[in-house]
Structure 1
Amino acid sequence: MSAGRWTLLYIVAARLLLALSLIGESLKEDHQLASPLNAYPRLREGTYLFNHGISPYSGGTFRHSPLFLPFFSWLPDSPYLNASLWTLVDCISAWALVSIWNARSGGVRSRGVLLASMYLINPYLFLPSLATSTASFDNALLLLAIKFACERRTPPCLFSLAFASQLSLPSILLLPPILLLLLSDAKSHLASPKSFSTSYSAVAPVVLEFFAYFATLTGAATIATGGWSWAANTWGAGLILPDLTPNPGLWWYFFTEMFDHFRPFFLMVFSMHLLIYVAPVCIKFQHDPLYATFILVGLIAMFKPYPTLADAGLFLTMFTLFPETYRYLRYPIVTALLHLHAFLLLPLFHHLWVGAGTGNANFFYASSLVFGVANGGAILDAIWAGLRIAVGEVGEDYAVMQE
């Protein structure tokens, strides 16, 4: 076995040992690592009610997808099983990330160990996994959907994306770039922009197949719970924001301070704000759909209603798929320092407010704003780099002419 594979084995073993320790238990209620839509204690509360013939959605606190209920209802609540399951899910995510890189590079450059290690040791991804947040499942399904799209395997790609959308509705916004990816290829075309052209007859069957999978999973969720009450508590939570539990996102504090009279208007504004990015990003990066998918993953992580650190962690880890952009990043040091600053401030101000009781909500929201600026800086850097590569030669010629 090579040294790189031994390194990966050590990382996985260390993660498993940490997951079996008391650290994970202390993180399960952390608002930065788990939201009302993916917190493990709420999931176990819902499965308890489900096993006793009570609708878990009747109380208005359980907001997980019904698809989790049949699986976790028979799975014992064992720390050993949980540690093994979440470690396995992260290993699948790391494997999918490596497969995406192989499709992107054509297998020319071997960076599998580096990419897998970056995913497994990223604290934004590692800590939510220790907290047994189901965001790890969301990330795994998204990466699998992208992997299958890169390999032009339409049925598993669309099914994975439909499953991810069922668990977390904002993931459905990745359908347009993934469709472009299915109908083109995953290799880097940032430096050779060209218009994407295909016929409607090629797109329509793929879209219909996706919605067939999505409708099937929706029907399975409805059968599992015996009604449609789950939709208002899961998908509806992202539209009407009924639970204002703090998180690293930008929604909760704003709507805590909002007058009820203006609430519907601003809910519409916030929801539409995320939606309007899809078409411009897909059009601008139509020559490289994988890069468009990457940008939208970052935008969803920043603007979704109930984000956790795992959402931003997926976007930041996907940077490793695009080494050609590194030299074109505009402010990488500033962005890195902002993330370091936010990574230190978030737990500190959260403890001051929730733990020590010496602060208030403004403390934690201030740190989440720093986190938002850091994510925004990373997204802008990525967009800038992608555009600079596309016009690199033109820009250099223009600079020479100006001199």
Structure 2
Amino acid sequence: MDFKFYKLLLLGGAVRLYFSGTSLASLIGNRVEFATPLNSFKRVQEGVFLLQQGIDPYRGDLVHETPLLLKALSGILLNYAQLLPILYILLDLCTGSLLYFLSRRFVEQKLQEQRLERKDYAKDTEELQYSADDNCNISELVLLAYLFNPLTIMSCIGLTSTVLSNLLLAMYLYAMIRRQLLVCLALLAFETVRSLYPVVLIAPLLLLFARHSVSRGIGILMLFATCCLAVVGANFLVMNSWNFLDGTLGFIFYFRDLQPNIGLFWYFFTEMFEHFRTMFLITFQLNATVLYLVPLSIKLRKEPLLLATVLVALMAVFRAYPSLGDVGFYLALLPLWRRCWKFMAHGFVVFTFFLITLSMMGALWHLWIYAGSANANFYFGATLAFCTGQIFLITDLLFAHVKREFCLYNGQKIMIDGEEARILLE
């Protein structure tokens, strides 16, 4: 680690500490783009209070955080509430640090792979290959993309539990790149019990540890199920009740709260006839979990980390209660694939989508809720365009990866009848 790493880390912490003391912090904590029924700090506060009073917080429909986390935060909330912003900042800095170390390890592994495969590469592909300089450049870009992304900063100062989710995902990815199977399974089980959708991240582990062995893959799945049961059992010991399962996983799957957010669920289920609800609920949940899992796993079987990145991004788009903090996390992973950027053709379109839709969300929300001069269609239009921009980004990254792999072995210039051919994916 160099001095620049510590300097960026301190600067990122200072930025968060400054804004946490302003009125922006309370504003962000109430914004539907950042605070959802799952990650809202107010709901965590309510859950801690009910738990301390001996009341089951899952009897109503307000608290949806796991008992383990409520118990862990109760001591701080009750005795050192003024230090809570510092705790969230430290957790966010830990996430940035893990992503930094992850990127360094990733580049080192890529360099080792290239030494073995370079003899098969085409001659004009030097710019597509990872270099020793990438060990510093890519890791710094990842750190910058996380610490100074407005989406992650505001998610942190708003005290959303997305900060903890990002930390757990960063720990999982770091353990995966270091080939620590048991740590990965434990972290993934904890996050799966909290928010359901990370269950799909078992696929990169299977590709990494059991690509050529079905029996080993079955063993990993059984071990993962055991870890999930252990986490569920630990939550039961805190509450001495199974109500938390319906208040957490059940609440997510059945989508009981129609509060608007940046996702796609809320508008459709607000407008839908009740007798169609079950069919569309299953359809939407399949789309958010297993629909893309098999084809992506087959295509990216040699790149488990890229598969994990794409799955995290798809979760941020299609999950029931997404937030901008989820988006900020996967955006910080994009510099890992810097050598694919040359083939990404929709960068300007995606940037424009993000800039315009994020700017419009606040204005359209005000016109709808406060001014009364707009309706739900206006706000959903902005969120739908934002999701479309994210899909453009994900597909662009996947196509760029495929093009880079093709050009590495076939060259960037392919001549047909004396003319340079264009590489098109259909």
Quickly say closer, same or farther: Cα 1:36–1:399, change in 2 above 3 A: farther
What letter matches 1:121 in structure 2? F
The letter for the 2-side match of 1:177 is: P
Give the 3-state SS of the residue equivalent to 1:113 in structure 2: helix
Q: Which residue of the other structure, out of 382, 405, 419, is the alignment partner of 1:390?
A: 405
Query: Contact conserved, 2:197 with 2:315, CA < 8 A, in 1?
Result: yes
Q: Which moved more, 1:6-15 or 1:247-256?
A: 6-15
The Cα offsets for residues 153-204 of structure 1, whole Å up to 9 and x where unpaired, read as 1222211111111211101111111332345xxxxxxxxxxxxx41123323
Helix, strand or coil: the match of 1:61? coil
Partner of 2:296: 281
Which residue in the other structure is 2:16 paired with?
15
Question: Any stretches of 5+ residues in structure 2 without a counterpart?
Answer: 110-131, 420-426
CA distance in 2, matches of 1:242, 1:395: 53
Of 104-113 and 60-69, deviating more is 104-113
For the pair 1:201 / 2:202, whether they are aligned, the reply is: no
User: Per-residue displacement from partner, 1:326-380 (whole Å, max 9, x unpaired)?
Assistant: 1011211111111111121112212222343432212211110111111111111
- 2:106 aligned with 1:104: yes
User: SS of the residue aligned with 1:106?
Assistant: helix
CA pair 80-321 structure 1, distance change in 2 beyond 3 A: farther
Q: Could you report, residue by residue, the CA deviation over 1:82-117 in whole angstroms, capped at 9, with x for unpaired residues?
A: 211111111111111112211211184213333222
Deviates more, 1:3-12 or 1:324-333: 3-12
Superposition RMSD on alpha carbons, in Å? Answer: 1.9
Matched, 1:133 2:160: yes
Q: Are 1:39 and 2:40 matched, yes or no?
A: yes
Structure 2 distance, partners of 1:245, 1:179, is 36
TM-superposed CA distance for 1:22, in Å, is 2.6
Cα 1:62/1:351, change in 2 over 3 Å: same
> Are the structure 2 counterparts of residues 401 and 172 from structure 1 closer, same or farther at C-alpha, using a change threshold of 3 Å?
farther
TM-score in terms of structure 1 length: 0.92
Distance 1:356 1:8 in 2: 41
2:387 aligned partner? 372
Q: Say which SS state the counterpart of residue 76 (structure 1) adopts.
A: helix
Alignment-mate amino acid for residue 324 of structure 1: R
Q: Is the 8 A contact 2:43 2:62 kept in 1?
A: yes
2:82 equivalent in structure 1: 80
Higher gyration radius (CA)? 2
**How does the TM-score come out when normalised to structure 2?**
0.87
1:262 corresponds in structure 2 to: 276
The question of whether the paired residues in 2 share the 8 Å contact of 1:181 and 1:290 is answered with no
Matching of residues 227-238 of structure 1 within 5 Å: 227-238=241-252
SS at match of 1:343: helix
- Determine the C-alpha separation between the residues in 2 that align with 1:318 and 1:22: 30
Distance in 2 between the 1:6 and 1:256 partners?
Answer: 47
- CA contact 2:197–2:319 (8 Å) conserved in 1: yes
Residue 235 of structure 1, CA deviation: 0.7
Q: 1:5 to 1:398 in 2, by over 3 A?
A: same
Matches of 1:289 and 1:31 in 2, distance apart? Answer: 33
Residues 347 and 79 of structure 1, relative CA distance in 2, 3 Å threshold: farther
**1:164-243 paired onto structure 2 within 5 Å:** 164-182=191-209, 197-243=211-257
Report the Cα offset of residue 79 of structure 1.
5.5
Do the aligned residues in 2 keep the contact of 1:103 with 1:150 (CA within 8 Å)? yes
Runs (5+) with no aligned partner, structure 1: 184-196
Whether 1:116 and 2:143 are equivalent positions in the alignment is: yes
Q: For residue 193 of structure 1, what is the aligned residue in structure 2?
A: none
Query: Aligned equivalents of 1:104 and 1:3: distance in 2?
Result: 20
How far has the Cα of 1:4 moved from its partner? 5.0
Closer, same or farther: CA 181–90 of 1 in aligned 2, 3 Å? farther
Per-residue deviation, 1:135: 1.0
Worse-matched range after superposition: 90-99 or 386-395 = 386-395
- Percent identity (aligned): 29
Distance 1:3 1:313, change over 3 A: closer
Q: Number of paired residues?
A: 390
Partners of 1:51 and 1:361 in 2: CA distance: 38
- What is aligned with 1:52? 53
